[in-house]
Amino acid sequence: MSRYDTFHPFARVLHWLMAIMILAMLFIGAGMVSTLAEKHATLLAIHKPLGMIIFVLALIRLGFRLVHRPPPLPADLPLWQKLAAKGSHYVLYGLMIVMPLIGWGMLSAGKYPVTMGGGFVLPPILPQDPALFAWLREAHRYLAWLFFLTFLAHMGAALMHGLIRRDGVLKSMTTGN
Amino acid sequence: MQDPRNPRPPSGLAWRWGVIGLAVVGAAAAFGYAGGWLTPDRLSPKKIVNVLQANSGLHPGYRRNHAKGICVGGRFEASGQLAAFSEAKLFAQGVSTPVVGRFAIPGGNPQAPDSSAPIRSFALRFDMADGEQWRTGMNAMPVFPVSTPKDFYDLNVATAPDPATHKPNPEKAKAFFSTHPETGPFLAWISQAKPPASYVDETYKSLNAFYLRDNAGQRHAVRWQVVPETPSTGDGGPAAGDTDYLAADLQKRLAQGPARWHLQFVFANDGDPVDEAAKAWPDDRKVVDAGTIVIDSWQPQADGPCRDVNYDPAILPHGMEISGDPIIVARSAAYAESYLRRTSEEGHLPGTERPKEAQ
């Protein structure tokens, strides 16, 4: 097989590491805003630094992808599925980068300390503004839903490639062959 | 979705689609559970804020509790005495930290008369030099009425105004208090309490217990209180019929000079309840004076710097930690919900009331 038929091992490691982190983030986010039990504080304390780690990894991953092009989709894949695959990847990459920035910006607009743990605080990236806080807070919520729905489509499509079409697309991100 | 050109159509197609469907539906259901959509009976921040809003009426743009207040500004000057017990930098000797404060009365009605409840509150945000913050909302009362978020919710349901009389139904309130004996100390206090005529003369307490963490990693369970230094001028209190005397009194006092409080930390003995805000600690506990809070300016809350502050008691600097007291986290979660509602109204988000149109 040519080296274009699979993802670079570094890309595969980043993909699965970030898959776990992002899925954890979405569940932590949904849980922490709906509970007033003690775990609310714990979840909040994880959510902020984990979001920043995802942001940094997403930039590394995007940069790596630009110099290591992913393998092409199967030539016989219907056009609508090719477009859906391409579109959903734009959405996933966009959200990986935009969601942490919205979270950081929203805390800045609310003049909250952006705590990373151990007394380390990130500087604000936006001025204090309650209306801006509210817009960003709601954007964070609805984009998180979009993130989760896109994840479901992504996972469903990957399983479809692996179980129904068996065309090597899922393998290109797992075992690599 | 099988490709007709695929030379080897997989066997067990139904089973394969079943696995895919199960994975997608299972993930969606787990997410729904995490978000609370599958357990609508679970007590949520929304429910707590809804009951407060229902009891006081909707006042767009205002806090859902402690809606009537006034902004104050000043600083905290550390004595250095607490530095041995907490590595938080604001307690180091000689450190001066600016504060954005707010005095308020309880309830969600921003037009309520000052005498409507005998409780006053004092909230502070300490803005530390390195970007860390400490936020605290304190009340002038000895204990919290209840010790769990569920009981707080039930208390608000039990004391909701009756639609016919606009007053709480005494039977329902009595039924709640008789089945919640932990409310005894609070009820004993409030039956004697008189609404004070000044914010300045009050002692404000954290009510919830927290932990200090020292340089060696040791935890110390504490509650804190700010105790006034300024002796009462005692000018006879408000004129009859004056419903806004607290703000006027504060302005008059601050025109004469800064008001000062001592920030005192009360240390628990072994066995003192750390997770129960309805239980007081005995009076003989060790007290450490962390320094002086100096308040020297005020602004109306409509455009003052405290308006857009969420005085979330779980926002603590490194060297201070929440305890297992469930009220702290519930306050944090409910304040966040209240903050989102009032900033959404300020921001004219779709589906929210507009502050100016509602007047």
Of the candidates B59, B57, B85, B89, the residue with the CA atom closest to the CA atom of residue B76 = B89
3-state secondary structure of B345: helix
Tokens of A172: 């290109």
B215-252 per-position pLDDT tens digit: 999 999 999 999 999 766 656 677 777 889 999 999 99
Q: What angle do CA A138, A139, A141 make, to 5 degrees?
A: 65
Closest CA of chain B from A85, distance in Å: 15
Give Cα B181 to chain centroid, integer Å: 23
**Yes or no, beta carbons of A34 and B346 under 8 Å apart:** no
What ipTM was assigned to the predicted interfaces of this complex?
Answer: 0.93
Structure tokens at B109: 């009605």
Taking only residues 1 to 20 of chain B, the set having a beta carbon closer than 8 angstroms to any beta carbon of chain A reads 1-3, 5-6, 8, 10, 13, 16-17, 19-20
Which residue is closest to A166 within chain B, CA to CA?
Answer: B10
Chain A residues touching B318 at Cβ < 8 A: 118-119
pLDDT in tens, A36-92: 888 899 999 999 999 999 999 999 999 999 999 999 999 999 999 999 999 999 999
Burial pattern A126-152, b for ≥16 Cβ within 10 A else e, equals beebbbbbbbbbbbbeebbeebbebbb
Task: Please list the ranges in chain B whose pLDDT falls under 70.
Answer: 1-9, 231-236, 356-359
Predicted confidence at residue B4, as pLDDT, reads 47
Cβ contact B315–A26 (<8 Å): no
Instruction: Give counts: helices (H), strands (E), chain A.
Output: 4, 2
Which of A37, A41, A152 is opposite residue B28, by nearest beta carbon? A152
Catalytic residue of the set B59, B66, B180, B220 = B66
Between chains, do A40 and B329 touch, taking CB under 8 Å as contact? Answer: yes
Measure the CA–CA gap between A11 and A33, rounded to whole angstroms: 32
Residue type, A104: W
> Each residue of A142-168: pLDDT tens digit?
999 999 999 999 999 999 999 999 999
